[in-house]
Structures are given as C-alpha cells and as structure tokens.
Amino acid sequence: MKILRQRLLRGANLYARFPCILGLIDLEDLELAPPSDLLSVVERLHALVPTLRERCLAPLPPGFDAGTVIAHLTLELQCLAGAPAEFCDTSLAEGPSSLRRVVCAYQIEHIAQSAFSLAVYLVDALAHGLPFDYATPFDQLVRQSESYRIDPLTAAVLAAAHKRGIPANRITEHDALYQLGTGSRQRRYHPRLPNDTPLMGPWIAQDRQLTRALLDEACIPIPQGGTVDNLDDALRVARRLGERVLVMPGDAGAGDGGISECSGDRELAQAFAAARQFGRRVTIERLVAGARYVGEAGASSAGDGLAALCARASAKLGLEQGAIELAYDEADPGAASVIAVKAPPPLRGHARDIEVDEFLDMAGAGDAARIPVIAVTGTNGKTTTTLMIAHAAALAGRRTGHASTHGIFIGGSMVAEDDCTGYWSHRAVLSAPEVDMAVLETARGGILKRGLAYDQCTVGVVLNVSDDHLGMEGVDTLEQLARVKELIVACASGAAVLNADDEHCVAMARRIGHGAELIYFSLDPANPALRDHLGGGGRALVLDGASMVVADGAGKRILIGVADIPCTLGGRARYNIANSLAAAAALLGAGFHDAEIVAGLASFVSDIQSNPLRTNLFHVRGMTVIADYAHNAAAYAALAEAARAMTRGAVVGVVTSPGDRRDEELHRTGRICGMGFDKLVVYESASRGRVYGQAAAIIRQGALSARASADAVEGVDDRVLALRRAFALCSPGDVLVYCGTSVGALVEALEPIDPQAARAIAG
C-alpha cells in the first residue's frame, strides 16, 4: 500500500463543510484481498485499539475495504490523541481501480497528518504480517497533541460560537488566539489575554511568532524566517536563510531582550541559548538590508506607500500605540517589510475570566459576526464580474476587500499581486479588520486543493461551466466540474445567482434546496428555465431588448440600458452583458439598491489599468484592437462574436492556449477560432509539459477542420511576430483580437508600426 498524495482541505470542500485531510492511496495487492483477510486485520486492530470497535467501526459498512479501515482508524487515532473529529469517507478515485480517496475530518493539521500516516502504516503491516511498533508512534502522537490542546474555557467558547453560527479560526496551531467572526465584525479571543483587541495588541506584539503569523496572514511582508523550539531546527532554518541572521525569543514577554545577530553554526548555538532564556520558542530571521522607516502605530493613513503599510500592520495587530519599523529598498519603495513592532508594555492584572455568553453577545450572534461575502466562480468572466461587484460596493460606500486573478485589494489598495483566487488570499480578505464586505473570485483549483476559506457566503455566483481544465485534479467531465463550482452556491446563505442560459447552472438550481434565494440571470427573456422560475414568483436579471431588467413574478423594472454599461462596448460584447447581469443579481441579492447597482455598472471600465487584458480596447491606424486574456473555446467564441458586432470589415485573431489542456480541448479551441475569425494567426505561449509548438499545432488543425481552405490560418512561433503578422493582414476598419498574457508583446509589436499607439498602451 502507498500514499500517493495528501492534502489538507482547510475549509468547506467537496466532502464536508469543515476541514478534512484528503489522502490518495494505492491499495496495491490489498485491493483484491479476500474479505476474510480484511476481517482478520480488523480483528487484530480491535485488539490493538479497542475503542475502534466501540466508537467507529461497528458496524462496518457493507463492502468495506482497506481504505475504509484506514479512514476509520485515522478518525479513532485523532480521538485518542485528544483531537476528536466525527466524519470520514472513502471512495474510488479516478485512475487504476486500486486507488482510493480517503477523507477524514480534523481539528489539528499536524495530528491529522500523523494519524493518517500511522493508520496506513498499521493496516499495511497487519495485512502483510510485517513486524510493527504501535506504542512509540502512538505516544508521539499523544505528546504532539498535548502541545495543541485547548483549555476548557476555550472549548466552551468555541462550542458556544459554533452553536451560534459564528465562524472561529485559530490563527496558528501553536497558539490559542482565535478570530471569531470575519472582517470588521471579528473579535479576537485568547484564553490568557484581555478580550479586548486594543488591550490584546501589546501582548500580541511581544510574541514574535504570532506577530509574524498575523502579518503574513494579512499579506504584509515579513523577513524570511521561522520559529523553532530546538537547536537542530534552528540550525536548519539558519542555513536555509544564508549568511547573517537575527535570533530572538519567539514567545511573548521578551520585550527587546535576547536579540542577537550572528552567522555560522557556533554563533547561532550561542544566540539560540541566549534567546532561549526568555521562553521556549526562538525565532530566526534573515537580516534585511535597506533603508529604515518608522511609522506610528494607529496613525491612519490610506492608500499605498510606507505609512499605509504601517497603518495596515498596526490595525492587523490591534495596536493603537507604539511604532512599526520597516526595511525598504530605496530604489523600489514598494518592496518593504516589517522588521520590528514596538508596543507599549501590556497592562498586567487584567481580569481575563469571561462569561462565555456575554463575550459572544459582544462578538455578535451568527450573521452579526460576519461581513457579507459575495463569491464568484465559473469558467469565464470571474475576474471581470468580481471587479464589477467590488467597484459598485465601494462606490456605495462599503469598505470593500476583493481577491481575483489580478491580486488582493483592501480598500482600493493592492496588497498582493497575481493569482489570488484560493484559500490563503480569501483568508487575507476575511481576516482584515478594515473590511466591511468581501468579494472573492473563487477558482476551481483552489477549491480542489485547499477547500474554501469560508464555510458560508452571503451570495454565491456561478457564471458558466464549459470545458477548461478538464483532466486535471481528478475532474474529467463537465458534470464533475459543475459539482466543484456548485460548492459556492451550496454554501450561500442569502442568494444563489445562476446562469439560466447554462444547462449545468440550471441543473445546480434544481439541486440547491432550502435557504438561499435563487436569482437567475439570462440573455434570453424566452428561456424556459427562466420563465418557470419567474412563474413561481422568483427573481431574475434579464436582458430585455436593449435594457437590463429586474423581473419577478409580479412584473419587471428597467435597471439600465446595456449601452450605458461601458464594458459591454455599446452592447456588442454579449459576454460582458452576461457578466453585468450576474453582478447586478449578486448586488441585488446582497441588499444593494437599484440606484447603487446602476451607478456601479455605469462607471465600471474594463481598461488596461483596472482590468488588464480583459476586453481592453485600443485604436491603431484606423483598426480596432481588442486585447484579451481568452484561453478556452467559450471565451474565444464570446470574443469573436463581440468583434464581429463591431465591424463590417474583417475580424483577425491572434490566438493561443496553454499546453496543459487536453488535445480535444485545444482542438475545439481551434475549431471555434476557425469559425469565429476571418484570418487567424496561431502562436505558442505556455507549452506547460508539451513539446514546444505542439499546442499551437493542434489549435491550427482544429481551425482548419472548420474551414474549407487553409487560407488565412497561419502559425507563427513568437507572439510579437504573430502580432506583427496579424497587423499586416489587417486593413483600416478591421478588428484585431489579440489573445495573450502579455501587454508588453503588444507594445513591442506596435513600436515599428505605430509608435504613438505603442506609447499610449505602455502608459
């Protein structure tokens, strides 16, 4: 038996609404072991772990296999270690028939991982009659668990919070600091600290490990490093960091003492011993060079820059006084990190006995402890819709945090860049004390790899489901892909926004029961699913003629003419009409007024600054250029349709696709492009595991399969040359659609053709 993969799904996931460990195992020869052999394994396990019979494995589910035994044993070992969990599941995994997916709930990550490994080891040894040692690893597990154990008061607070529907998040496993609730409605709880964030701040600031964890959670840069409790680990961390490091106490209560700068193993051992006098844990950090900046804690400063970073750091730590020290690069002040936090001495003798209910009353019950969350998923249009919703919410006066493929934005400032559509990014937004409302682009990959960072969202949006990423992460069919995306609407407490024009979304609508209101959106007033829904008194956002209307059982009202929504390019980009309808539906579901929705849609612009490479329009020597990030068949179809509506001339495409898609998908992308564009230049971008040029070749074949002749389907290796070739194929009045991930390539291609346009695009 072998463990092939192990994952911690930290939040709501495809199997449960709480954290689970997911193990992919290969049963190998045990797949075909006769039931009598398995029964004897179970009997011997019962002798070894008697509680297994009493608690979990009685009665064994019919047809159980070694995977089931491992799942139950993982659960039981966690219970015995004092970190009980109550759910486990086993299923066949895609691939060879000996693969099993074992899922088991957990409280503490490290305990779950150890329990799972121990369970696999034991079952394997018993089944093969191998010698094994149970006592030693089990003792280790129990000892490991003790360091994470929570006290009875904390347990009572967590249980009461759970009963009231208040989400509780332990910030780090080494410490009992909890975030109860989300965003600006959160409160912190710690069994040994004052229960008031400003009083707690100075205590937190003394604890280097906790301070680092909180800053890191907020995407505030900190020096590379780690916290350890023994010299071996200290040496390992220090060697990884390189030449000179700082060694300091990692626990609370050290103040400024015990910090030393050192290099080499000998100096490190001395520094470790010195820091160790202040507490159990020792933090080692890379010594950061550069200029220094000190900002006062609590001074509130919006926008970007060093002062704003200090303000964000002090807000995150809950510090109203003191100072934040930054190191930064004078050549690039954007690259700053927090190297020290100075806080006033914590108030001692503060009463910390709390009345659980009284405390939770202050934390707010259920919804009052949560900020509204709008989660957006789908194959195409997530980023655009997320930005549109966030823009409207901010315009309506909400302090908005949003995460998308572009990055994380808190109150209008970018705090992290690039793909931020998964667990850690969402956690950064949901834990930010200055955020009143969260809008979260939630991608397939993140759901599968880490689970969601929220157990519940106010509004869940699924825009569409089409083929992209099939064959990855065990998702092979559109139905399976739809089940992944469905998690977003299944978690919605307020409204589920679904596309009535997409059969997979309609199937989801049938499955979501109780709780959330279904709000459909549709480009087609005659859509049967939509009409049924309206007939039953439901609400929907519909394109009706040239207007966006809100329809319900009783009638309809016009929100806005689509020509007044800039990103629809005068109503010609139908995909952005669909995205605008979805955004409006989500805002409506979250309780925004019509006027707020209209103001948002009317002023959202998808240009190179605000939404780079999403329907960005330029004019070059009488031609129209659309620069876009399309990379699957549905997106190409949508773009070609929009481009066609903009001209009576030719529509020329410069297209590509990442190579990690299946042959069928690339071929279909090609066929759609072959049908949609009059002239086509195909280039290779990210080969991702394929031989260079192969992805482009399959797209070209697909394009040719849709056309009578090979005319005007060209392949050019380099994207800049591909663009230049396409410009050569264009005449004034034509539309050129450039699909790719690089604005720079467009600028470079244009320089010899139209330097003025190149400069304008480069900004």
Interface residues with ligand ATP (CB under 6 A) are 378, 380-384, 405, 441, 463-464, 575, 578-579, 614-615, 628-630, 634-635, 638-639
H-state helical runs in 57-207: 66-80, 109-127, 135-146, 152-164, 197-206
Partner from Mg ion, ligand ATP, none binding residue 615, C-beta < 5-8 Å depending on class: ligand ATP
Partner from Mg ion, ligand ATP, none binding residue 288, C-beta < 5-8 Å depending on class: none
Cβ nearer to ligand ATP, comparing 116 with 629: 629
The distance of closest approach from Cβ of residue 468 to Mg ion in the complex, given in angstroms and rounded to an integer, is: 6
The distance of closest approach from Cβ of residue 396 to ligand ATP in the complex, given in angstroms and rounded to an integer, is: 22
Cβ nearer to ligand ATP, comparing 221 with 740: 740
Partner from Mg ion, ligand ATP, none binding residue 380, C-beta < 5-8 Å depending on class: ligand ATP
Cβ nearer to Mg ion, comparing 73 with 672: 672
Q: Is 314 in the site for Mg ion (CB under 5 A)?
A: no
Which of these ranges, 32-40, 308-316, 400-408, 527-535, lies near Mg ion under the rule CB under 5 A? 400-408
Partner from Mg ion, ligand ATP, none binding residue 389, C-beta < 5-8 Å depending on class: none
Residues 6+ apart with CB under 8 A from 617: 569, 607, 624, 625, 626
Q: What angle do CA 646, 649, 651 make, to 5 degrees?
A: 70
Residues 6+ apart with CB under 8 A from 247: 234, 238, 259, 260, 261, 262, 268, 271, 272, 274, 275, 282, 283, 284
Of the candidates 401, 289, 283, which has an alpha carbon nearest to the alpha carbon of residue 335?
289
H-state helical runs in 604-718: 633-644, 663-676, 694-705
The DSSP H or E segment spanning 706 is none
Partner from ligand ATP, Mg ion, none binding residue 104, C-beta < 5-8 Å depending on class: none
Cβ nearer to ligand ATP, comparing 107 with 405: 405
Cβ nearer to ligand ATP, comparing 274 with 634: 634
Q: How far is CA 68 from CA 56, 119, 594, in A?
A: 11, 11, 53
Cβ nearer to ligand ATP, comparing 387 with 681: 387
Q: Is 402 in the site for Mg ion (CB under 5 A)?
A: no
**How do 225-228 and 616-620 pair as beta strands?**
unpaired
Cβ nearer to ligand ATP, comparing 74 with 615: 615
The distance of closest approach from Cβ of residue 38 to ligand ATP in the complex, given in angstroms and rounded to an integer, is: 44
Q: What angle do CA 487, 491, 494 make, to 5 degrees?
A: 135
Partner from Mg ion, ligand ATP, none binding residue 90, C-beta < 5-8 Å depending on class: none
The distance of closest approach from Cβ of residue 421 to Mg ion in the complex, given in angstroms and rounded to an integer, is: 6
Cβ nearer to ligand ATP, comparing 227 with 579: 579
Partner from ligand ATP, Mg ion, none binding residue 52, C-beta < 5-8 Å depending on class: none
Q: Is 286 in the site for Mg ion (CB under 5 A)?
A: no
HSE of 622, CA atoms in CB hemisphere, 13 A:
7
Partner from ligand ATP, Mg ion, none binding residue 464, C-beta < 5-8 Å depending on class: ligand ATP
The distance of closest approach from Cβ of residue 510 to Mg ion in the complex, given in angstroms and rounded to an integer, is: 25
The distance of closest approach from Cβ of residue 84 to Mg ion in the complex, given in angstroms and rounded to an integer, is: 38
Contact 478, 470 (CB under 8 A): yes
The distance of closest approach from Cβ of residue 539 to ligand ATP in the complex, given in angstroms and rounded to an integer, is: 20
Q: How many residues belong to the chain?
A: 763
The distance of closest approach from Cβ of residue 379 to Mg ion in the complex, given in angstroms and rounded to an integer, is: 6
- Terminal CA-to-CA distance of the chain, rounded, Å? 58
Instruction: Determine the Cα–Cα distance for residues 313 and 328; give it in Å rounded to an integer.
Output: 15
Burial class (CB in 10 A: 0-12, 13-18, 19+), 732: exposed
Show the tokens assigned to 368: 């009052």
The DSSP H or E segment spanning 579 is helix 574-589
| Residue environment code for 324-335, b if the CB has 16+ CB neighbours within 10 A, otherwise e | bbbbbeeeebee
Partner from Mg ion, ligand ATP, none binding residue 278, C-beta < 5-8 Å depending on class: none
The distance of closest approach from Cβ of residue 625 to ligand ATP in the complex, given in angstroms and rounded to an integer, is: 14
SS (H, E, C) 468-534: CCCCECCECCHHHHHHHHHHHHHCEEEEEEEECCCHHHHHHHHHCCCCCEEEEEECCCCCHHHHHHH
Cβ nearer to ligand ATP, comparing 357 with 418: 418
Q: Is 426 in the site for Mg ion (CB under 5 A)?
A: no
Cβ nearer to Mg ion, comparing 382 with 398: 382
The distance of closest approach from Cβ of residue 500 to ligand ATP in the complex, given in angstroms and rounded to an integer, is: 13
Cβ nearer to ligand ATP, comparing 252 with 695: 695
Cβ nearer to Mg ion, comparing 316 with 382: 382
Map the footprint of Mg ion across residues 325-384, applying CB under 5 A.
382-383
The distance of closest approach from Cβ of residue 651 to ligand ATP in the complex, given in angstroms and rounded to an integer, is: 14
Judged by CB under 5 A, how many residues of this single chain contact Mg ion?
3
Q: Is 405 in the site for Mg ion (CB under 5 A)?
A: yes
The distance of closest approach from Cβ of residue 453 to ligand ATP in the complex, given in angstroms and rounded to an integer, is: 17
Contact 519, 553 (CB under 8 A): no
Instruction: Determine the Cα–Cα distance for residues 265 and 453; give it in Å rounded to an integer.
Output: 40
Contact 391, 402 (CB under 8 A): no
**How do 20-26 and 99-105 pair as beta strands?**
antiparallel
Q: Which residues bind Mg ion (CB under 5 A)?
A: 382-383, 405
